[in-house]
Structure 1
Amino acid sequence: MLHWFPTPYPDELLYSVLARYHVRSGNTSPKMTTEELFGKRTVRSVWDLPANLNALLKNTGDYWNAEQLIFNYTMYPYYAAFLLPLQAKQVKLAMMNDEGSTIHTRIGMAASNVKLKENFWVCSNCIKEDMETYGETYWRRIHQCPGVFFCPQHEIELEETIAPVRDYNQHEYIVATPSVNRRKIDVSELKKDEVQLLKKISQSSYTLLTMNYLQKGNNSLRNKFLELLKQNEYATPNGRVKRERLYHSFNVKFSTRCLELLQSTVEFDETDWLTMIFQKHRKSFHPIRHLLVMSFLDTDLNHIFDKNEYHPFGKGPWLCLNAICSDYRKRVVKDLRITLDYDTRKPVGTFQCDCGFIYSRKGPDRNEEDKFRIGTIKEYGHVWKQKLTTAVNEGKTLTEIAREFQADRATIKKYADKLQLNVPWKAPKIVTKIVQDSIEDLEKQLQLRKEKWLEIQELYPEKSKTELRKLVPDVYAFLYRNDRDWLNDFSPIKNKIQTPNHRVDWKKRDEELLALLKQAVQNWDFDAEKPTRITATSLGKKINKLSVFEKKSEKLPESMNFISKVSEDLVAFQKRRVEFCIKKLKEEGEPIIEWQIYRKAGLRSDVSNEVKRFISLKVTQYESPNNK
């Protein structure tokens, strides 16, 4: 048993500890040191995942226990987090025993395209602090991780030394010194977002080394990824990955230069790692690639491994975004309710301040700017209304109030009218709506829709109640809400008829579905507050036939051709939102100006140039004398 042993430093490699022991022992041969440490001379000096640890523990006595040694001073936790449970267990056993030759094969490193660093890497600031604190420096685990080019503690570029991780002498231990020759990597040509990605990878790699994550089941990690793919519309509800959309978005988010640095470029191929990582895991994938997928899906290690609660909007308190509140943009909001969007399954946060201001937005927050974003204002609150009253009484103009309250003029008009304030401007146009307290109007509307419901039955006597509902969904919904008993009494009765088992006439089915699709497109966004995008998925959901289109698309050529023609890409949908917005502004008598269109249509300033030109053209058209 050894009479003394160096005290390990934070995040120090076991290899580095053994190298310091070798120097201080005064041994002239590394094999002498190996024999003292392991009881035999044949053990190789492996820097990342060493074996024969039981023998080392036996010689160091009670200085360490096995778990502490493996998780705190080797690279095991970096790889084990993404191994299948049985794999992780087998690797740990191999490290404890003398099965070092099997370790790198078990974790998939031998066949991986992501190669290890050839030399040891260091941080100049870490070396300086080590010399001031300990009087010596050492090899840190985090600096040797593949893909780590920045120190997570100091956020500066790492430096590559000339000290090889695999010396020509397999038993040699190379000690870290402050004077070791090294060169700093050049990141001057990298863009800001590329540097941020590399820093994020460094931070996540350090978290892997320190948090000791392990998978609970064979496909728990893959299942988490698949659920996030569905939420972000990169997979269908049945779990089929939309590979074209996935690859396109992945290449947009990550530059080729960064993917090359991280040894993780992608190709649209069935055997590509980005395709296979979302399939059942029968092989290992390098941690870098898991971290890239997590960054792409805007999630983190704690969420993936269920270490703590998922915070899609960060931890509270959150910002009050009431422009005239004394706590504007201060972290005072403690009331947050999170729900899931029905269609996208993304989190929707509803924030309520003590001033009464309630707003919501869809998450998760992707950057710092998102915290200042309002999706929908649900309630302006008592403070807002009180200050509006004061502003009107002080004689401020509509423009002054709109600017101060950061609200459009129509909103100011609307609430001034609701508060019955004495204003110098024209009252807003009153749009007639069906409300419960207008009995006479309700009866009139009911009668009109009852007549429509009976009329549609006469036109299509063979159709069932469900089929009629799809033809006139607005009529059905109104009657269902306001006179359900009458609707049940004056609807076709469902007859249970035993039909013989026969093959589906897919040509006829195709014609029927095509008719439903045309009807759905014709009534698209009817009476809607805002437009929705026409896609294959939204059309399928609209007529309640999404599963048919997904499973039997090859048997429905006419329907699929129609869907392909009417489906909107993002640019087309944004243009239609612009036209919808302009129509609303005209109806409300508001000026057609660019910033109003961007705001009303919910468009960001970084939309495509084609959409920007379209907006400018529309504004120019409405500014011409013929449109005034």
Structure 2
Amino acid sequence: MLTFFPDPYPDEILYSVFGRYHLRSGNISCKATLMDLFGTTSVVATIDLPSHLQMLCDRLPANHGYNPEKFIRENTLFPFYAPFLPEQRANHVVELIKSSRGNGIHTSTGIMAGGVVTKNQLYLCRKCYSEDIQMFGEAYWHRTHQAPGVYFCPKHQEILWVYKSVSMNRHEYIPVPLKLDQSQVKKSLAITDLSTKTMHYLNELVKDIHLLLTHTSIPYLYKTKQTILPRLRQLGYATVNGRIKQDKLHEQFRLFYGEELLNLLDSNIEGETSWLTFATRKERRVVHPVRQLLLIRLLYGSFEEFLKNYGQEYLPFGKNPWPCLNKAAAHYMNSVVTTCKITTCSDTRRPVGTFYCGCGFVYSRRGPDQVEEDRYRIGRVKRFGEIWFSKLDELLKQDNLSLRKIAKELGVDTNTVIKYSKPTSSFEIVNQNEAVTKQTNNAKKIKPEERKKSPVNKETGQANRVNWELRDLELSIIVETECKKILADLDNKPTRVTFSRVAKRIGKLNFMQRNKGKLPITMSVLGQYVESVEHFQTRRVKWIVQELVAGNEELKRWRIEKLAGLKPGYGEQVQDEIEKQLKQFAFYAPKPWSEGEITWRQLN
């Protein structure tokens, strides 16, 4: 049991607290200090992420008020790494820091593999040093100064100095000397060798890192793509469907920061498999916090602004409900529309919103909306609906109304009124569900060869119009039945449910590719069954395990991966499923990992 323990100062790293204890205890040997603090001499003096904290707290004086979690949160660099780790792995790192198994901490955080701006020495700010001595009578190592990527003091905006320690003992905690000689320190950066732009962004990066360390409620940000996708879409770096425009993003990233800064921070983005590409794809590997913060600053301007906007959706047309713009309806201009389907314009790549009202009126426009007035703008009418046609019939029966007045009353041009005032019943047109445009001049002309193929009604001599609603409904039933067949086929090796595969199996590939916009029900049903690569791999793993168990074959991880065709770096969801299956059938098969092989999931 310790007789005393120094209270940590503001922003003091735990390594510094141990160094001050060593100085006050009067211990000559550093191993005597280790024995005092931890009850063992095998502890390695680690600056950023120490271990044995539970043993330390068990030896602190009575009523000390400290616990491992408090030390980890306030006096280590764990908050710097934790938000960008999978939550389960972050919890495992906490357990490692509390325990005596400190050799796996840096591997679990990805520090060993990343090699990004690694700090192996102690850093200090000379102004902080003077202020600490004046306020506390002694100086200490500040936690923020030791974080990777920090070359400036966040308080004084001055370049940090590196302490040139002569000690080679990895078990020794070095306190800040009471008298600091110029020969003991050197500047961490050569100012004259760096551009003003690089210096500026290094200073800004420090602000982000300081906030990351001190903010009390940072969300888990491991699933980076899901978090920043709305912003990527808003800035034009991603399509409405979520595809990242990597070339555009890489070019802007390089221009924004410059090669000098990226090289200094070990964050160059050369090559097709750069870290920036992985940071904006599905989460499969840990990306270093410094790199994550660089991406966030590019998109949001600062980490603080990112936290303010965290969780916001990409809504190019605002939130529902939207106004109905059917001038024939009693609820005209009222916000009653709750359905909006967003697609991408093939020409401009801008989002296109199609709004469906309960009155049958369907309209679309290109976005995103910039001002409130945009909500009341129609780009194109795709369907008028029964109410509109009823109003048209009513107005046509009034002899005192000109076609121009009728057009104005219905919100269309005169040509549209002429087109739908022909003898053919407007109700017949409604039932046939024809999509029409607001401006007939914008309508695409039918090619001669296509016109010849159009079926003709012998009685009227007019071409029969397609009932798209009925066709859509019938096709959606066929598609859903086929999807269920694919998923229910357990006798054969699983095949992935995709748009092309389902459409080919029912013999409608070309038809469905050409008419996606006219088949909203079918596309919605298909979207519920279409599998991502990771989801399909998970289903295939389940099937393979069942086959192996049924055949009394040995169940091993490598065998499952081989039969499932899994390449290195497959998704975490698939990894979880493999482990789940191995645990479930552990009675029938040996353990899936060899002796000594252990993962952070097992330790949790």
Query: Letter of the aligned partner of 1:298 in structure 2?
Result: Y
1:494 maps to 467
Within 2, Cα distance between the matches of 1:36 and 1:505?
Answer: 75
2:180 maps to 179
2:211 maps to 207
Tell me if the contact between 1:151 and 1:202 (Cα under 8 Å) persists in the aligned partners.
Answer: yes
1:169 maps to 169
Alpha-carbon offset, residue 289 of structure 1: 1.0
1:469 maps to 437
Within 1, Cα distance between the matches of 2:176 and 2:200?
Answer: 29
Alpha-carbon offset, residue 310 of structure 1: 7.4
Alpha-carbon offset, residue 279 of structure 1: 2.6
1:44 maps to 44
Q: CA 1:236/1:448 → structure 2, altered by over 3 Å: closer, same or farther? A: closer
1:535 maps to none
- Aligned residue runs from structure 1 range 306-455, under 5 A: 442-443=405-406, 447-451=414-418
Q: CA 1:307/1:441 → structure 2, altered by over 3 Å: closer, same or farther? A: closer
Q: What SS does structure 2 have at the residue aligned with 1:171?
A: coil
Q: Does 1:223 align with 2:191?
A: no
Tell me if the contact between 2:198 and 2:261 (Cα under 8 Å) persists in the aligned partners.
Answer: yes
Alpha-carbon displacement from aligned partner over 1:17-49 (angstroms, at most 9, x marks no partner): 111111121111111111111112221211111
- Aligned residue runs from structure 1 range 247-258, under 5 A: 247-258=250-261
- Aligned residue runs from structure 1 range 295-306, under 5 A: 295-298=297-300, 300-301=302-303
Query: Letter of the aligned partner of 2:417 in structure 1?
Result: K
1:276 maps to 278
- Aligned residue runs from structure 1 range 137-176, under 5 A: 137-163=139-165, 167-176=167-176
Within 1, Cα distance between the matches of 2:35 and 2:55?
Answer: 10
2:290 maps to 288
Q: What SS does structure 1 have at the residue aligned with 2:123?
A: strand
Alpha-carbon offset, residue 213 of structure 1: 4.6
Tell me if the contact between 1:14 and 1:74 (Cα under 8 Å) persists in the aligned partners.
Answer: yes
Q: CA 1:96/1:230 → structure 2, altered by over 3 Å: closer, same or farther? A: same
Identity among equivalent positions (%) equals 29
1:332 maps to none
Tell me if the contact between 1:44 and 1:171 (Cα under 8 Å) persists in the aligned partners.
Answer: yes
Q: Does 1:10 align with 2:16?
A: no
Q: What SS does structure 2 have at the residue aligned with 1:111?
A: helix
Higher relative contact order (CA 8 A, sep 6+): 2
Alpha-carbon displacement from aligned partner over 1:27-85 (angstroms, at most 9, x marks no partner): 11111111111112221211111111111111113421222111111111111121111
Q: CA 1:471/1:8 → structure 2, altered by over 3 Å: closer, same or farther? A: same
Alpha-carbon offset, residue 278 of structure 1: 2.2
Within 2, Cα distance between the matches of 1:454 and 1:111?
Answer: 72
Alpha-carbon offset, residue 241 of structure 1: 1.6
Query: Letter of the aligned partner of 1:142 in structure 2?
Result: T
Query: Letter of the aligned partner of 1:106 in structure 2?
Result: S
Within 1, Cα distance between the matches of 2:73 and 2:509?
Answer: 63
Q: CA 1:122/1:109 → structure 2, altered by over 3 Å: closer, same or farther? A: same
Alpha-carbon offset, residue 118 of structure 1: 2.5
Q: What SS does structure 1 have at the residue aligned with 2:141?
A: coil
Q: Which deviates further from its counterpart, 110-119 or 465-474?
A: 465-474
Q: CA 1:472/1:37 → structure 2, altered by over 3 Å: closer, same or farther? A: same
Q: What SS does structure 2 have at the residue aligned with 1:160?
A: strand
2:90 maps to 88
Within 1, Cα distance between the matches of 2:276 and 2:151?
Answer: 23
- Aligned residue runs from structure 1 range 27-66, under 5 A: 27-61=27-61, 62-63=63-64, 64-66=66-68
Q: CA 1:232/1:261 → structure 2, altered by over 3 Å: closer, same or farther? A: same
Among 81, 98, 121, the alignment partner of 2:123 is 121
Q: What SS does structure 1 have at the residue aligned with 2:155?
A: coil
Within 1, Cα distance between the matches of 2:157 and 2:119?
Answer: 19
1:194 maps to 198
Q: CA 1:502/1:69 → structure 2, altered by over 3 Å: closer, same or farther? A: closer
Query: Letter of the aligned partner of 1:494 in structure 2?
Result: N
Q: CA 1:75/1:11 → structure 2, altered by over 3 Å: closer, same or farther? A: same
Within 2, Cα distance between the matches of 1:23 and 1:492?
Answer: 91
Query: Letter of the aligned partner of 2:185 in structure 1?
Result: R
Alpha-carbon offset, residue 158 of structure 1: 1.4
Alpha-carbon offset, residue 300 of structure 1: 5.0
Within 1, Cα distance between the matches of 2:372 and 2:241?
Answer: 34
Q: What SS does structure 1 have at the residue aligned with 2:122?
A: strand
2:136 maps to 134
Alpha-carbon offset, residue 509 of structure 1: 9.4
Q: What SS does structure 2 have at the residue aligned with 1:137?
A: coil
Tell me if the contact between 1:51 and 1:94 (Cα under 8 Å) persists in the aligned partners.
Answer: yes
Tell me if the contact between 2:12 and 2:75 (Cα under 8 Å) persists in the aligned partners.
Answer: yes
Within 2, Cα distance between the matches of 1:25 and 1:307?
Answer: 49
Q: CA 1:182/1:295 → structure 2, altered by over 3 Å: closer, same or farther? A: same
Alpha-carbon displacement from aligned partner over 1:316-353 (angstroms, at most 9, x marks no partner): xxxxxxxxxxxxxxxxxxxxxxxx9x9878xxxxxxxx
Alpha-carbon displacement from aligned partner over 1:96-136 (angstroms, at most 9, x marks no partner): 11001010111111111314212211112111211221222
The answer for unaligned runs of 5 or more in structure 2 is 315-339, 345-349, 352-367, 374-400, 445-462, 479-504, 528-604
Alpha-carbon displacement from aligned partner over 1:222-266 (angstroms, at most 9, x marks no partner): 410223222222222332222111111211212011111211110
Tell me if the contact between 1:31 and 1:41 (Cα under 8 Å) persists in the aligned partners.
Answer: yes
Q: Which deviates further from its counterpart, 62-71 or 86-95?
A: 62-71
Alpha-carbon offset, residue 442 of structure 1: 3.5
Q: Does 1:246 align with 2:249?
A: yes
Query: Letter of the aligned partner of 1:58 in structure 2?
Result: D
Query: Letter of the aligned partner of 1:230 in structure 2?
Result: R
Within 2, Cα distance between the matches of 1:491 and 1:470?
Answer: 21
Alpha-carbon displacement from aligned partner over 1:527-563 (angstroms, at most 9, x marks no partner): xxxxxxxxxxxxx999x9xx9xxx9xxxxxxxxxxxx
Aligned residues: 389
Alpha-carbon offset, residue 465 of structure 1: 6.3
Tell me if the contact between 1:14 and 1:73 (Cα under 8 Å) persists in the aligned partners.
Answer: yes
* TM-score (ref. length: structure 1): 0.53
Tell me if the contact between 2:30 and 2:171 (Cα under 8 Å) persists in the aligned partners.
Answer: yes
Alpha-carbon offset, residue 216 of structure 1: 5.0
- Aligned residue runs from structure 1 range 577-596, under 5 A: none
Alpha-carbon displacement from aligned partner over 1:192-241 (angstroms, at most 9, x marks no partner): 44333211210111112112455458x54441022322222222233222
Within 1, Cα distance between the matches of 2:292 and 2:372?
Answer: 37
Within 1, Cα distance between the matches of 2:416 and 2:94?
Answer: 72
Q: CA 1:189/1:452 → structure 2, altered by over 3 Å: closer, same or farther? A: farther
Within 2, Cα distance between the matches of 1:83 and 1:255?
Answer: 27
Tell me if the contact between 1:119 and 1:160 (Cα under 8 Å) persists in the aligned partners.
Answer: yes
Tell me if the contact between 2:415 and 2:440 (Cα under 8 Å) persists in the aligned partners.
Answer: no
Within 2, Cα distance between the matches of 1:125 and 1:213?
Answer: 30
Alpha-carbon displacement from aligned partner over 1:149-206 (angstroms, at most 9, x marks no partner): 1111111221222137xx5211112111251522232234544443332112101111
Alpha-carbon displacement from aligned partner over 1:602-626 (angstroms, at most 9, x marks no partner): xxxxxxxxxxxxxxxxxxxxxxxxx
Among 247, 254, 266, the alignment partner of 2:269 is 266
Q: Which deviates further from its counterpart, 29-38 or 54-63?
A: 54-63
Tell me if the contact between 1:247 and 1:268 (Cα under 8 Å) persists in the aligned partners.
Answer: no
Q: What SS does structure 2 have at the residue aligned with 1:469?
A: coil
Q: CA 1:311/1:197 → structure 2, altered by over 3 Å: closer, same or farther? A: farther
1:98 maps to 100
